[in-house]
């Protein structure tokens, strides 16, 4: 019987999809930008290619960030690795590829970043995505570094993460908070609850803490919103743009 994970100490500010306002989301350039800004943690999304390679990617379709037709779940890694996921954001980032999870880990370790790995399964691949991503992460992540946080909207994915890495912290992600949130967090052995910033009310934050979990809110990009959430006891703000939030922290 493995002991449940302890409540995790989260940073006040965590980069979202790298730092999505400042560099193209879910790219190695984004991870490096987060490190350059002095962040210690970064969130990114992990999805499978058709041939089950875990890559950093958010949307089901390739269009928005690569300009190409098609779906990630129907595209082999051989084609994905040649996509340009930077040019849409700014010409300076042209040529930034869709990184494999393996490439991302190399950068995280080199930059001293701790990841919040959001498992983003395409339909029907909730468990498979974890089965591909988590053993790879465990093989690459040094035992003497604090482990990645594994998170997902998918209850099935979080449960699979628990089965494969019971000693690594987990988080459930929600846009709306279900009535049975406490039972869900407990059943999944979550260390954190990642909630949409509009749900970050003081009473709920207090109750989540009482249930033994840390609270993070996404995606917080405005100073006043950040201040309000910190005042309510939210532990961590997941942001595209750390600048305004750092001002909020200084003024707090």
Contact 154, 121 (CB under 8 A): yes
The residue whose Cβ lies closest to ligand G3P is 218
Binders of Mg ion in range 38-67 (CB under 5 A): 45
25 binds Mg ion per the rule CB under 5 A:
no
Estimate to the nearest angstrom the gap between the alpha carbon of 35 and the chain centroid: 15
Distance in Å, CB of 214 to Mg ion, minimum: 17
Query: Using CB distances below 5 to 8 A depending on partner kind, what does residue 75 bind out of ligand G3P, Mg ion, none?
Result: none
By beta-carbon proximity to ligand G3P, the closer residue of 33 and 79 is 33
- For ligand G3P, the closer of residues 16 and 170 by Cβ is 16
Cα dihedral 184, 187, 193, 195, rounded to 10, equals -20
Residue 240 makes contact with Mg ion by CB under 5 A = no
Q: Token match 């190695």: residue?
A: 28
Rounded to the nearest whole angstrom, what is the least distance from the CB of residue 78 to Mg ion in the complex? 25
Instruction: Give the residue numbers marked as catalytic.
Output: 16, 58
Q: Which of Mg ion, ligand G3P, none does 173 bind, CB closer than 5 to 8 A by kind?
A: ligand G3P
* Alpha carbon distance 135, 94 (integer Å): 32
Whole-Å CA distances, 146 to 38, 115, 138, 170, 234: 18, 10, 12, 13, 22
Using CB under 6 A as the criterion, which residues of the chain lie in contact with ligand G3P when the complex forms? 16, 43, 45, 58, 118, 151, 173, 194, 218, 238
Alpha helices in 1-150 (DSSP H): 28-36, 63-66, 77-80, 101-111, 126-140
Per DSSP, the three-state class of 233 is coil
The yes or no reply on residue 118 touching Mg ion (CB under 5 A) is yes
Residue, CB closest to Mg ion: 118
| Shortest reach from residue 134's CB to ligand G3P, in Å | 17
Residue 41 interacts with which of Mg ion, ligand G3P, none, CB < 5 to 8 Å by class:
none
- Least spacing, CB of residue 249 vs Mg ion, in Å: 22
The Cα 213–Cα 172 span in angstroms is: 10
Q: Give the Cα separation of 252 and 246 in Å (integer).
A: 10
- Residues that bind Mg ion in the complex, under the rule CB under 5 A: 45, 118
């Amino acid at each position: 019987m493995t002991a449940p994970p302890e409540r995790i100490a989260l940073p006040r500010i965590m980069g979202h999809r790298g730092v999505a306002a400042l560099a193209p989301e879910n790219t190695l350039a984004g991870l490096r930008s987060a490190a350059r800004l002095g962040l210690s943690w970064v969130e990114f999304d992990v999805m499978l290619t058709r041939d089950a390679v875990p890559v950093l990617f958010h949307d089901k379709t390739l269009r928005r960030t690569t300009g190409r037709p098609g779906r990630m779940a129907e595209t082999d890694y051989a084609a994905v690795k040649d996509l340009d996921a930077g040019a849409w954001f700014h010409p300076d980032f042209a040529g930034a590829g869709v990184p494999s999870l393996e490439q991302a880990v190399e950068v995280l370790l080199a930059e001293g970043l701790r990841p919040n790995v959001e498992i983003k399964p395409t339909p029907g691949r909730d468990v498979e995505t974890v089965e591909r991503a988590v053993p790879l992460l465990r093989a690459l992540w040094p035992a003497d570094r604090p482990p990645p946080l594994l998170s997902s909207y998918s209850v099935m994915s979080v449960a699979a993460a628990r089965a494969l890495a019971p000693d690594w912290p987990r988080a459930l992600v929600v846009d709306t908070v279900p009535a049975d949130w406490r039972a869900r967090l407990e059943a999944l052995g979550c260390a954190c609850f990642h909630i949409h910033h509009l749900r970050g009310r003081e009473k709920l934050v207090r109750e989540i803490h009482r249930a033994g979990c840390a609270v993070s809110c996404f995606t917080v990009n405005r100073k006043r919103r950040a201040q309000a959430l910190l005042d309510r006891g939210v532990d961590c703000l997941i942001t595209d743009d750390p600048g305004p939030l750092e001002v909020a922290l200084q003024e707090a």
